[in-house]
Chains A and B, each alone.
Chain A
Amino acid sequence: MASRFFRQRSVVEEAAQEVFLKAYTQLGSFEGRGSLEGWLTRIATNTCLNMVRSSKRRPELTVSDLTEDEQSWMDQHSAGDGAEQASVENSLVAADLADRLLALLPPEDQQALLMIDGEDASIKEVAEATGWSESKVKVRAFRARKKLREAMEKLLDHRGKTESR
């Protein structure tokens, strides 16, 4: 769960440790109505969201912010050649790019989008994991998807302009 929000192992471990400590201290408040897994997931989600909220969000991402690897990944995939050639290295570059673009979104939107579009979770599953209503999940996912697509479009547009020069 924590690796959904963070990439650095130390930060992931810090989040996981906080989740375990919270779960331990709040175990008495677990009423047993839902599953223990769901209860833990909710604690983890809230803990991670709080940690993400405390870090600053980037206002915008431009092509110049991208690394060479990320730019060449975009070249490959937008041209349609090699889109199927998924190597571990390529996946990591793509994951890095995703992190950069997701950083433009509010943490709640990131969470909803990653679960639904990245992990094929249903709206209901996200609602259970986060404690949000299903309509809230839908709105967040819609907004996040739109914003991510627009940010990606901007990057593609910038890249197209720089290539045509």
Chain B
Amino acid sequence: MKEKHITEILDNAAITSLSELELTEIRVHTKDCVSCRDAYEAAQLSAVILRSRAQVTIEPSPFFQTRVMAALREQQAVESVPAMWRLWKSAKVLVSSMAVTTAALAALSFVLPATSTPVDQPVSAFSAESVIMGQGSDELTYEQVMSTIYAEEDEAGK
């Protein structure tokens, strides 16, 4: 083989960008060199499939933009909120309920006793003496009960 093999020309640049001089050199050489002819054929096919591959375009689905915007908003929300605020957001229910309970307990302990009026307190109907004796003033004695019963029977008899 007198000429240099042309595989280097094939690998150096895209086959579509080869000059007329280079293409002539390839044609002349491949007439006699079988291995370079195979290489040239393979290079041509490679160029065809690469062009076909480059033409493939994929249209995004109709929801793509919505999904990206949602992801962006989510990321933006995460980044813009300070750490303490994020902590508060996650624990606010617990903290609020604790605060309300504490406030309620404080109100019951300090505010309500001070504002309550002593008017409502009932005055004891029993004297100390009657309590000690185990007898209230509104309780009737045995004699009183008996006399009342007999008095009613007498009136009924009359």
Contacts and interface: CB of A to CB of B under 8 A. Distances in A.
Q: What band does the interface of chain B fall in when counting residues whose beta carbon is under 8 Å from A?
A: 35 or more
B72 A24 contact: yes
Contacts of A74: 45
B57 A3 contact: yes
Contact of B49 (A16, A25, A101, A146): A101
Interface of B: 7, 10-12, 14-17, 38-39, 41-43, 45-61, 64, 67-68, 71-72, 75-76, 79
B16 to A, nearest CB: 7
Nearest to B79: A25
Q: Which of B48, B55, B56 has the most CB of A within 10 A?
A: B56
A100 to B, nearest CB: 9
Majority SS of interface residues in chain A? helix
Majority SS of interface residues in chain B? helix
B72 A98 contact: no
A143 B67 CA distance: 39
Contact of B11 (A12, A77, A145): A145
Interface in A80-120: 83, 90-92, 94-95, 97-99, 101-102, 113-114, 116-120
A9 interface: yes
B58 A118 contact: no
Given A120-B16, A148-B46, 4 more contacts: A98-B52, A98-B53, A114-B53, A156-B45
29 contacts: A9-B60, A12-B58, A12-B60, A13-B67, A17-B64, A17-B68, A21-B72, A77-B45, A78-B41, A78-B45, A90-B52, A91-B52, A95-B49, A95-B52, A98-B52, A98-B53, A114-B50, A117-B16, A117-B47, A118-B50, A120-B14, A145-B46, A146-B11, A148-B46, A148-B50, A149-B39, A149-B46, A152-B45, A153-B42
